[in-house]
Amino acid sequence: MDNPRKASETAVVTASLRALACYEDDEIVRGKDELAALFLPEEKKEPLKSSDFRRNIKKVIPKGLYEYVTARTAYFDDLFDASLQAGLPQIVILGAGYDSRPYRFEKYIADTMIYEVDGSATQELKRSILQKNGIAGHKNVRYVSLDFEQDDLMHELYVQGFSPALKTLFFWEGITFYLQPDTVRSVLQSLRANSALHSLLCFDFQSVDHGKGLVDTGLKEEVVLFGIEAGKVSEYLQGLGYVVLEQLDAGKLGNRYLTCHDGSRLGSINSMMHIVKAEMVEDQAASAVTSGQDYGRLRFHLCVTLSCLMEKNIRSCFECDEFPCPKVQDD
């Protein structure tokens, strides 16, 4: 995971691949993230304008990575757009990096609250770049600074106005790979214990065969640590209070997002890459998979917050005259 005091190297790599995809000749597979290039240093931005450079850089990108990021970005774009147009109350982008969706889809935000969660250094650089380019952003977009390995995610979200009473979509794009398995499980438990029933979670992951098969990114600070055994994602999530709504493997992703006008493919995706969308359901197993102390503390925050919101007839803590409240501060 990136150092919270240093901007994420992975965020730059992802932005580079998204920017590169914007130059594809076939508009069906062409990337739509026209803001991605803004987050690149000049030495990475300018060469992209050369077709020779783009052709050569594709030859040295790890096999399947460019294609995967292109397809994954398109999938999450579709989900983000559909959620906004459906009027979903809250979207939380976990490990937002240089995600530009809150700005590219700004006209569809309406009343949806959007929370960008990431390390403070990456967020500070991102905000300065947006400001430099005259992009103010929607008033409903809020930044939540966090280290997934150390900080209390739900506490930090509460402080910024997140409401556990509202249906929420959680985005976790390109992040689980770099976290310890216990951290991934803890985050999933925390989201489920502090979110409204039927909230949604979408994340990508690598499938593994008894711990083997994880991709080496080549980035010193981004070592791949987490994966889910092939064919067991439904079982894994069910034990944490989720039911899988959709799972896309490399083949399905390629068919949907990498097929050109003439039926040819932009390229192929490594077979271990997957995206899953899941719904939060009645959490009968939560008490068995969560430690009593943590589970009790999380449920305490949830119950107290819900009661208070209903009593004051407000949608989030952020709207309260007494905010910040000691009920959502650390014990």
β-partners of residue 279 are 200, 243
CA-to-CA distance for 103 and 125, rounded, in angstroms? 16
State the pairing for strand pair 141-145/200-208. unpaired
Number of domains in the chain: 1
Residue 237 lies in a domain: yes
pLDDT at 74 over 90: yes
- 0.85 cut: is pTM over it? no
- What φ, ψ does residue 117 adopt, rounded to 5°? -110, 125
Residue 189 lies in a domain: yes
Q: What is the pLDDT of residue 9?
A: 82
Residue 221 lies in a domain: yes
Is 190 in contact with 290 (CB distance < 8 Å)?
Answer: no
Q: Please tell me which residue, 34 or 152, carries the higher pLDDT value.
A: 34
pLDDT at 206 over 80: yes
Rounded CA Rg of the chain: 20
Element (H, E) at 114: strand 113-118
Q: What is the pLDDT of residue 297?
A: 40
Q: What is the mean pLDDT of the chain?
A: 86
Is 253 in contact with 72 (CB distance < 8 Å)?
Answer: yes
Q: What is the pLDDT of residue 299?
A: 44
Residue by residue, DSSP assigns 208-266 as: EBTTB-------TT------EETT-HHHHHHTTTEEEEEEE-HHHHHHHHSB-TTS-BS
Residue 163 lies in a domain: yes
Handedness of CA 234, 238, 241, 245 (dihedral sign): positive
Q: What is the pLDDT of residue 314?
A: 63
Q: How far, in whole angstroms, is CA 60 from its chain's centroid?
A: 26
CA distances from 124 to 18, 82, 119, 220, 268 (A): 21, 28, 9, 22, 35
CATH assignment at residue 275: 3.40.50.150
pLDDT at 35 over 50: yes
Residue 175 lies in a domain: yes
Tell me which amino acid residue 298 is: L
Residue 12 lies in a domain: no
Lowest mean pLDDT segment, chosen from 39-43, 150-154, 166-170, 173-177: 150-154
CA-to-CA distance for 192 and 310, rounded, in angstroms? 20
Among candidate residues 228, 229, 237, the one with its CA nearest the CA of residue 281: 237
pLDDT at 201 over 80: yes
Among candidate residues 1, 309, 278, 312, the one with its CA nearest the CA of residue 163: 309
Q: What is the pLDDT of residue 324?
A: 58
Q: What percent of the chain has pLDDT over 90?
A: 70
Residue 13 lies in a domain: no
Q: What is the pLDDT of residue 296?
A: 39
Residue 25 lies in a domain: no
Q: Residue 189: pLDDT band by 50, 70, 90 thresholds?
A: very high
Q: Residue 1: pLDDT band by 50, 70, 90 thresholds?
A: very low
pLDDT at 285 over 80: no
Q: What is the pLDDT of residue 220?
A: 52
Domain region containing 118: 63-328
Q: What is the pLDDT of residue 230?
A: 78
pLDDT at 331 over 70: no
Q: Residue 10: pLDDT band by 50, 70, 90 thresholds?
A: confident
Q: What is the pLDDT of residue 283?
A: 56
- What φ, ψ does residue 30 adopt, rounded to 5°? -65, 135
Q: What is the mean pLDDT of residues 101-129?
A: 96
